[in-house]
């Protein structure tokens, strides 16, 4: 690595402190920061729909649902990401800007991030011992890709993948003490998807 490249890397401490006052959110990977872009109306509606159902399920529990602005630490990649939606039962901490043990993470695909969400983040998130569900949700068609930790140990990877496409398809989330069922139709409520072509 050249001296110039080394000078461009920033420490985790400087990154975390800088994010507290930044008007632009940045994700952090191994000393480099990446500015985050805005998102479409479809993206926002899907985020809000998922957050609505998870928030209803977390009421009265020590668990919290976070949307867009709470970071997650991914030590295996020396990274801090801002998931679109995250469910964590770590307990309340008024001063926290980062969660370390989420049970569920969801990313809504955008043209600029879909490869990162399906590769880099998929690999990193699955290294989190607490994570049981990683959801990747399309915004241009009814599709939710689910990676669920394999509690039965039937798969070599330790994860089972499924694709939900039917409106009545549902996924039951079990993050004790939170339990809820997410229907695909509910995630796409009030979202105008393009007409399917034959």
pLDDT digits (tens, 9 = 90+) for 134-167: 999 999 999 999 999 997 766 777 899 999 999 9
User: Residue 140 corresponds to which tokens in the numbers above?
Assistant: 């241009």
Closest CA to 107 of 76, 131, 89: 131
175 and 106 in contact (C-beta within 8 Å)? no
Please report the pLDDT score of residue 38 as a whole number.
80
162: tokens are 């499924």
Taking alpha carbons only, the member of 168, 163, 158 closest to residue 145 is: 163
Residue that has been written with the tokens 């034959």 in this structure = 198
Signed CA dihedral, 105, 25, 12, 92: sign only? negative
Confidence band of 112 (pLDDT split at 50, 70, 90): confident
Question: Is 40-187 CATH 2.60.40.1890?
Answer: no
First and final CA of the chain: distance in angstroms?
Answer: 51
Whole-angstrom distance, CA of residue 166 vs CA of residue 36: 31
Whether the pTM exceeds 0.85: the reply is yes
Task: Name the average pLDDT for the chain.
Answer: 90
Give the distance between the most distant pair of CA atoms in the chain: 56
Percent of the chain having pLDDT more than 70?
A: 93
The whole-number pLDDT of residue 7 equals 56
Residue 4 has pLDDT above 60, yes or no: no
Q: If residue 81 lies in a helix (H) or strand (E), which one and from where to where?
A: strand 79-81
Contact 81, 101 (CB under 8 A): no
* Strand, helix or coil for residue 48: helix
Domain ranges of the chain: 40-187
The H helix count followed by the E strand count for the chain is 6, 13
- The CA distance from 92 to 43, in Å, is 27
| Distance in angstroms (rounded) separating the CA atoms of residues 91 and 155 | 31
Burial of 31 (0-12, 13-18, 19+ CB in 10 A): middle
């Amino acid at each position: 690595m050249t001296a110039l490249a080394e000078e461009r890397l920033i420490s985790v401490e400087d990154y975390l402190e800088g994010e507290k006052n930044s008007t632009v959110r940045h994700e952090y990977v191994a000393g480099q920061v990446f500015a985050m872009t805005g998102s479409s109306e479809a993206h926002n509606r899907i985020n809000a729909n998922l957050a609505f159902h998870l928030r209803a399920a977390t009421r009265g529990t020590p668990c919290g649902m976070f949307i867009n602005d709470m970071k997650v630490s991914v030590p295996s990649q020396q990274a801090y990401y801002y998931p679109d939606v995250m469910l964590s039962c770590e307990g309340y901490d008024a001063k926290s800007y980062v969660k370390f043990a989420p049970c569920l993470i969801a990313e809504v695909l955008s043209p600029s991030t879909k490869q990162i969400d399906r590769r880099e983040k998929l690999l990193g998130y699955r290294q989190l011992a607490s994570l049981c569900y990683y959801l990747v949700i399309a915004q241009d068609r009814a599709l939710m890709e689910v990676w669920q930790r394999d509690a039965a140990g039937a798969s070599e990877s330790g994860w089972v993948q499924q694709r939900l496409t039917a409106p009545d398809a549902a996924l039951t989330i079990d993050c004790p003490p939170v339990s809820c069922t997410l229907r695909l139709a509910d995630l796409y409520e009030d979202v105008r998807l393009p007409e399917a072509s034959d």
